[in-house]
Amino acid sequence: MSRKIHKTDAEWRAQLTPEQYRVMREKGTERPHTGKYAQTTDAGTYRCAGCGEPLFASATKFDAHCGWPSFTAPIEGTAVAESEDRSHGMHRTEVLCASCDAHLGHVFPDGPGPNGLRYCINSASLDLEKNAES
């Protein structure tokens, strides 16, 4: 992770689309199966749409049949932060960009792989940097 990024609300509104702002700064959620990366299989690095930090590698992406891009792990342990989320009458673990505190989605203990985690992430919070060979 690089340095911590701080911007005013006005700066975020000027940079992000209304949907990105709703998801990333107001902790919103896309409707399932509507995000641009829900079914993407291109190789590359998924970066934070707010600050450009690398968050997830395409090699860890899998189809969880949940309607959102899902990953087994962040690109490195310090790329994302987690926070308890008790909104909407549920108890979940929120996933945030460690650099700019953008809301990315949630992590659940029902994924494949060695750690058994599923990082369920909103497409609006991601930008895919495709590999050259993609």
CATH of 9-130, one of 3.90.1640.30, 3.30.365.10, 2.170.150.20, 3.40.1260.10: 2.170.150.20
Whether 133 has a pLDDT exceeding 80, the answer reads: no
The verdict on whether 100 is a catalytic residue reads: no
pLDDT at res. 134: 52
pLDDT bucket at 127, cuts 50 / 70 / 90: very high
Q: Are 53 and 97 in contact (CB under 8 A)?
A: yes
Whole-angstrom Cα distance, residue 122 to residue 103? 9
pLDDT at res. 3: 77
Average pLDDT over residues 107-117: 91
pTM to 2 decimal places = 0.92
Burial 11-38 (b: 16+ CB within 10 A, else e): ebeeebeeebbbbbbebebbeeeebebb
Q: Are 125 and 48 in contact (CB under 8 A)?
A: yes
| Tens of pLDDT, residues 35-93 | 999 999 999 999 999 999 999 999 999 999 999 999 999 998 899 999 887 877 778 89
Whole-angstrom Cα distance, residue 56 to residue 132? 17
